[in-house]
Each structure stands twice: as structure tokens, then as C-alpha cells.
Structure 1
Amino acid sequence: MKAFIVLALAIAAVSAEVADQVHPKDLPKSLKIEGRITNGYPAYEGKAPYTVGLSFNNAWWCGGSIIAHDWVLTAAHCTNGASSVTIYYGATWRTNAQFTHSVGSGNIIQNHNWPNENGNDIALIRTPHVDFWSMVNKVELPSYNDRYNMYDGWWAVACGWGGTYDGSPLPDWLQCVDLQIISNNQCSQVYGYQPDGILCVATPDGKSTCQGDSGGPLVLHDGNKLVGVTSWVSGSGCQSGAPSGFTRVTAHLDWIRDNSGVAYY
């Protein structure tokens, strides 16, 4: 209870007026925010083998999640306008992958309700078959038994890379951050009404997803299930303290099943 009181006070501090939302990949460079998960920690090799890097048209970078031998889940705003995507599997350094595959736009399926309805920022990428091992593996989706679980108060981990540089000439190392899921009612105090297709997390101490993390995974600590796809952050910046938003995977279990065949019962 004490944790939720502190959380409510933190949210109230940034909710004097309705805040803007922006996709992390579209943050203006002038904000000078680190191009990676902010205030997280470096991942050890093999920590998040389901996480892939996605280079679209060799022009912009996003994250994604392996959900089957031949499917990756990401954000629709990442795939929009893409004619091709190169998938980086098992990378810890951003571009130093175990291997890569490239596919064309015919292998990209965007949710048909995006962008007209909030909460539908989700897309699938059909890939060549990949074998699983310690560095490259899938993450399970929530089962249909959990489709109405909002996960309020649960802890989860988000992982991803940002730009090629992080204030030094070295390539970005995969970063992760532990985040607590908050209710949509709490999130709505900052941004206005948020539908069930949105999942929000608190971002105390500047811990958040950021530029370059779009489309990446949010995975529960308890059960290791994929519950969110990185969608947006506050227009005031990743380190503003305002909640960050994900597409709620449980709201799209039917859509994922119908388009990829992946489902858990």
C-alpha cells in the first residue's frame, strides 16, 4: 500500500495538465535524451534472448520480440512505411548479432485498426525459420486464461537498444530496466482516457524506455510472459517522470492467433 501511495503522489506531480504522447523513435534529437533505455542496466549475454533489433529500410531502428520460430512481434509505428527490415538475432552489442535475416514488406502485417484507434500499435513480421538456443529464443504470450488480467502493480522488464552511439564511439550494449505496471485509471490522470489496449508503467527516477526502444518487449518478472510492446513515452521526454505506454498484448491475442497461429490456451 505504501508503494502505491508514493506512486500516486509521483503521478500527481506530473498530471497538472494532460500530457502529450510520442513514439520513442520519433523523439526530436533536440531533446538530448539518451538514445536507449534510460537509467537501466546493461544486460548480460543471453538475458533476453527473445529480444531482436529491427533495422527498417536501413533508416530507422526499433526493437521486437521473437514469439515463434518464424514470427516477430513489434509496433505498427515501427513498420509503417517500411519496404524491408533486417532482423538482428541474439545481439548484445546492437549490430553484433549472432545472425541476421532480411524480409520485405510482404512479410509485415500491421493491425488493421492502427493508427485510427488508440491501443492498436502492434505488428507482426514473418521471418525465415530460426532454431532456438540460449542466445536466441522465443518469449511466451499470456494464455487466454489471463486475457482479462490487467497486471496492475506487477513488475516487468523492458529491454532494447538505442542509437548507434551513446555518448561514445562504442556500440550500444543491450539495456534493460525494471518497471512497475500501473492501472489505466492512474495513467489517464496524466494523459486523459486510456483504453484497455494500452498498458502503462511508472517511470520513477527517469527509468523508462526511450528513443530506439519502440516495438521492444515488456516481459513479466513472474512467469516471463510478454505483456507489452513499447509504443509511446511522454512528449516531455523519457526522463520526465510521466508514465510510458505499451500496447497491451492480452488485448490482441485473437489478432495474433488469427494472423500467426501463435496462441496459448
Structure 2
Amino acid sequence: MMLLNLSKLSLICGTLLAGINASATKFAPNSSLKKRDTVIPNIMGGSFSNFVNVQSIAYYGLLGETNYRCTGTLIAPYVVITSAHCIYDTKATNSTGWSNIRIGVGSVQPLPKNTNSYTVSSIVMYPDFIYASPFKDDIALIFLNECVPPDVATPIDIEAPDMRESQYIAAGFGQVSQTDLSPSNVKEIIVSQGDQEICKMFFSDAEIGTKVICVAQTNGHGSCFGDSGGPLYKVDYNKLLGVESSMVSIDGEQCNTSDTVAIYMLPSGYLSWIKKNVPCLGTSCDYKSICNKPSSSSSTS
């Protein structure tokens, strides 16, 4: 764990807890922060997913390691989108680390219970990403060595969220509680936008709704370690709206922080960069034309 001090804010960056990945941003109590009367639950406290609803979800793990994990989403037959800090945490920022990564798709079970395991051809991180809280531009593309057949898993379309909508679906392979570190099947939960005053402590008005969305999280309900990179869906599950990046920790608490926010990157805000690197997206992909040579040669582009 790295601890950075910035003015009155204490920022925890790239947190690792017993080998389980997440990122948390911590700040001291501030009496000026707005308290909400109620919090819509944010993937602790949720329910286990039915695969028919999350057919694009991906498990990010390490060869021979069952504790470390992130989550991702299949956006093209051989491309998974996830958080860039997961790439840093696994020392996969260049080709020497790519061979250690394993991607599991086509199941709500984690590896190795899920036998649909894929190796990595290359990884491209957003070039402006800096490995420091609050992990702005925390997004990366993972290129697999082969296409995932559509009868195993199907890529999802990307869409910008309607900030007027009151509910979304968050999902991930993360811990189901602050203390239970064991791998879990995919869980999901209904979330809503969180306290925007907290969000604005780390992101500008121009970034909120275009590059990031902050969703409500409270004790026992929300993202936890291993959910990094996980999807934020529309309530009908048919569009990818966000990629889980980090969470704001108050008073030193982490997954069990009360009345805070989890931060999601919005892939729609990075669409030109994604399209530069990925030949097709979601349901528009023609498998016959793109599944001969899935490749990308650089770690940043």
C-alpha cells in the first residue's frame, strides 16, 4: 500500500489487501460534506448473477494465483476492457508480464472453476493514465490470443449513461464482505448516483458524466476488492456504461465505508481511443473478418 499526503486529504493508492486488488481514496472527516438521508445500495450485499444477464463479464487473474483478481468486460471477440491500475498491480505494463495474465469468460464462476481460460497477446493502457489517486483515465484494453466464440461469451455495446436515470447495475468478482477474501461467483447490485460533493473533490464538473460517474456506496452494500474493472450496466444489462476504478474511503474504512462513492470510468468518454485500437465493438463485430489476427503491439497507444 502506498500512502500519499495531499493538503488535508490522505490518499491511499493502488491498495492491495491479502493479494486482492482494488484502489481506494481516503480523506479525513469534513463537516462540510453533505450527508444523505438515504443511500441506494451500491458488490457486497447484492445477489448472485445469472449468466444470461452478464454474458460479457470477464475474470482477470494471474497464472497459478487464486487470491488476486480484477473484473473486466468483453467488448470485442478478443478484447476485454478493464481498469489500468489492475495492469500496474500485476506488473503487466509491458510484454514481460502479459504471459502471467489469465482471462476467464463465459461463466459467472472465477478461474480455475471456469475452464474458459484465455491467454493475453498484448495490453494497451490509456496513455494519460497515471498510477496515483484518484486514478484518472483508469482504463485499459486487453487483447487475447484468440477470439472468444459467441457460444461461449458475447461482447457488449458501449453507451454513454443518461445521468438523469436513477438506477444502474454494478457487477463483479470482488469480495462479498470486508473480511471474506475468498473468490466469489459474480455478484450484482442496483446502484444510483452518489454524493456529488464527494465526487467533485476529485473530478471536475467537465469530467463528471463524460469521463466518470460516482455511484453511492455504504456499509455492506457496494464495490469491494476484486471488483476493479467491473462493469456498470444499464438496468436491462444490454449496454456497458462504466468500468469500476476506485472508491473513496472515509475515516480509514475501505469496503465498509459508510455514505461514500465508488468511481467508474465511462468508456463512452474514451470511444475515439478505443476505436483506434479495436477493429469493432459489441454486436457490430463480424467474426469472420476479424478473428484471423487478433493483435496489438504496444502497452500504451
TM-score (ref. length: structure 2): 0.66
Are 1:160 and 2:176 matched, yes or no? no
Are 1:227 and 2:244 matched, yes or no? no
Give 3-state SS (helix, strand or coil) of 2:241's partner: strand
Are 1:237 and 2:254 matched, yes or no? yes
Deviation at 1:230?
0.7
Deviation at 1:168?
7.7
Partner of 1:122: 139
**Number of corresponding residues:** 232
Partner of 1:50: 56
Q: Structure 1 243/167 Cα, relative in aligned 2: closer, same or farther at 3 Å?
A: closer
Are 1:180 and 2:192 matched, yes or no? yes
Partner Cα separation in structure 2 for residue 67 and residue 262 of structure 1: 8
- Alignment check: 8 A CA contact 2:76 2:281 kept: no
Partner of 1:217: 231
Partner of 2:214: 200
Coordinate RMSD, CA, aligned? 3.3
Partner Cα separation in structure 2 for residue 210 and residue 245 of structure 1: 12
Q: Structure 1 40/163 Cα, relative in aligned 2: closer, same or farther at 3 Å?
A: closer
Give 3-state SS (helix, strand or coil) of 1:46's partner: helix
Q: 5+ residue gaps in structure 2?
A: 1-7, 23-42, 285-301
User: 1 or 2, which has the higher helix percentage?
Assistant: 1
Partner Cα separation in structure 1 for residue 175 and residue 237 of structure 2: 30
Q: Structure 1 21/68 Cα, relative in aligned 2: closer, same or farther at 3 Å?
A: same
**The 10-residue stretch of structure 1 (44-53 or 242-251) with the greater mean CA deviation from structure 2:** 44-53
Are 1:91 and 2:107 matched, yes or no? yes
Deviations for 1:190-212, whole angstroms, at most 9, x for unmatched residues? x3444332211012453211101
Percent identity of equivalent pairs = 22
Partner Cα separation in structure 2 for residue 222 and residue 42 of structure 1: 16
- Alignment check: 8 A CA contact 1:56 1:79 kept: no
Give 3-state SS (helix, strand or coil) of 1:253's partner: helix
Partner of 1:259: 277
Q: 5+ residue gaps in structure 1?
A: 1-16
TM-score (ref. length: structure 1): 0.75
Partner of 1:77: 85
Give 3-state SS (helix, strand or coil) of 1:258's partner: helix
Q: Structure 1 22/234 Cα, relative in aligned 2: closer, same or farther at 3 Å?
A: farther
Deviation at 1:28?
3.7
- Alignment check: 8 A CA contact 1:75 1:229 kept: yes
Partner Cα separation in structure 2 for residue 207 and residue 157 of structure 1: 13
Deviation at 1:52?
0.7
Q: Structure 1 22/39 Cα, relative in aligned 2: closer, same or farther at 3 Å?
A: farther
Are 1:132 and 2:150 matched, yes or no? yes
- Alignment check: 8 A CA contact 2:175 2:224 kept: no
Partner Cα separation in structure 2 for residue 54 and residue 99 of structure 1: 12
Deviations for 1:122-146, whole angstroms, at most 9, x for unmatched residues? 000111111113x51111111xxx5
Q: Structure 1 101/222 Cα, relative in aligned 2: closer, same or farther at 3 Å?
A: closer
Q: Segments of 4+ in structure 1 off by > 4 A?
A: 17-23, 163-171
Task: Give the letter for the 1:115 counterpart.
Answer: I
Partner of 2:124: 109
Partner Cα separation in structure 2 for residue 21 and residue 136 of structure 1: 35
